[in-house]
Amino acid sequence: MHLLMPLNFRDTAIAFQSHSDASLNRSYLLFRTLASPFLVKVGTFLTLWALAWKLPIKGLIRATVFRQFCGGETVADCKPVAQHHWKLGVASILDYSVEGQTDQAAYEHSVEMTLETLALAAKEDSVPLGVFKVTGIADTDMLEKVSQGIELNSSEAIAWERTQARVDRICHYAHSVGVPVMIDAEETWIQEAIDRLAYQAMQRYNREDVIVFNTIQCYRTERLAALHAAMLAAEQGGYGLGIKFVRGAYMEKERSRAQSKGYPSPIQPSKAATDVEFNACVKAMILALGRPEDSKTLALIIGSHNEDSAELAANLLLEQGWSASEAPIWFAQLFGMSDHISFVMAHHGYRVAKYLPFGPIEKVMPYLFRRAEENTSVKGQTGRELALILEERQRRKRLNN
Give percent helix, percent strand, percent coil of the chain, each to the nearest 5: 60, 10, 30
CB of 305 to ligand FAD, least distance (A): 3
d(CA 178, CA 176): 6
Does 276 bind ligand FAD (CB under 6 A)? Our answer is: no
In the list 85, 305, 340, 371, the residue contacting ligand FAD (rule: CB under 6 A) is 305
Residues 11-36 as b/e (b if ≥16 CB within 10 A, e otherwise) read bbebbbbbbeeeebebbbebbbbbbe
In the list 163, 217, 297, 342, the residue contacting ligand FAD (rule: CB under 6 A) is 217
Which one of the spans 33-41, 66-74, 245-253, 316-324 is the region binding ligand FAD (CB under 6 A)?
245-253
Does 219 bind ligand FAD (CB under 6 A)? Our answer is: yes
Does 243 bind ligand FAD (CB under 6 A)? Our answer is: no
CB of 56 to ligand FAD, least distance (A): 32
Whether residue 281 contacts residue 223, with contact meaning beta carbons closer than 8 Å, is answered with: yes
Vertex 347, ends 344 and 353: CA angle to 5°? 75
H/E stretch holding 333 reads: strand 329-334
Which one of the spans 215-223, 256-264, 283-291, 358-366 is the region binding ligand FAD (CB under 6 A)?
215-223
Does 357 bind ligand FAD (CB under 6 A)? Our answer is: no
Does 96 bind ligand FAD (CB under 6 A)? Our answer is: no
Whether residue 99 contacts residue 133, with contact meaning beta carbons closer than 8 Å, is answered with: yes
**CA 142 distance to own-chain centroid:** 24
Does 110 bind ligand FAD (CB under 6 A)? Our answer is: no
In the list 247, 347, 351, 371, the residue contacting ligand FAD (rule: CB under 6 A) is 247
Which one of the spans 4-12, 105-113, 332-340, 360-368 is the region binding ligand FAD (CB under 6 A)?
332-340
Does 180 bind ligand FAD (CB under 6 A)? Our answer is: no
**DSSP secondary structure, 218-263, as one string:** TTBTTHHHHHHHHHHHHHHHT--EEEEEE--S-HHHHHHHHHHHTS
Closest CA to 94 of 25, 174, 40, 26: 174
Which one of the spans 19-27, 97-105, 110-118, 303-311 is the region binding ligand FAD (CB under 6 A)?
303-311
Cβ nearer to ligand FAD, comparing 144 with 156: 144
In the list 185, 201, 327, 344, the residue contacting ligand FAD (rule: CB under 6 A) is 185
C-alpha dihedral over 195, 99, 182, 324, to 10 degrees? -130
Closest CA to 329 of 195, 207, 213: 213
Cα–Cα distance list, 295 to 76, 209, 249, 298 (Å): 37, 11, 33, 9
Does 265 bind ligand FAD (CB under 6 A)? Our answer is: no
Does 221 bind ligand FAD (CB under 6 A)? Our answer is: no
Cβ nearer to ligand FAD, comparing 86 with 355: 355
CA 281, 130, 304, 107 torsion: positive or negative? negative
d(CA 280, CA 245): 11
Cβ nearer to ligand FAD, comparing 234 with 246: 246
Does 306 bind ligand FAD (CB under 6 A)? Our answer is: yes
Cβ nearer to ligand FAD, comparing 246 with 365: 246
Which one of the spans 43-51, 71-79, 220-228, 268-276 is the region binding ligand FAD (CB under 6 A)?
268-276
Which one of the spans 65-73, 188-196, 246-254, 316-324 is the region binding ligand FAD (CB under 6 A)?
246-254
CB of 215 to ligand FAD, least distance (A): 4
Cβ nearer to ligand FAD, comparing 289 with 332: 332
d(CA 269, CA 292): 37
Count of helix runs (H) and strand runs (E) in the chain: 17, 8
CB of 236 to ligand FAD, least distance (A): 26
Does 400 bind ligand FAD (CB under 6 A)? Our answer is: no
Residues 333-356 as b/e (b if ≥16 CB within 10 A, e otherwise) read bbbbbbbbbbbbbbbbebbbbbbb
Whether residue 134 contacts residue 97, with contact meaning beta carbons closer than 8 Å, is answered with: no
Which spans of this chain sit near ligand FAD (rule: CB under 6 A)? 184-185, 215, 217, 219, 246-251, 267-268, 270-271, 274, 303-306, 332-334, 355
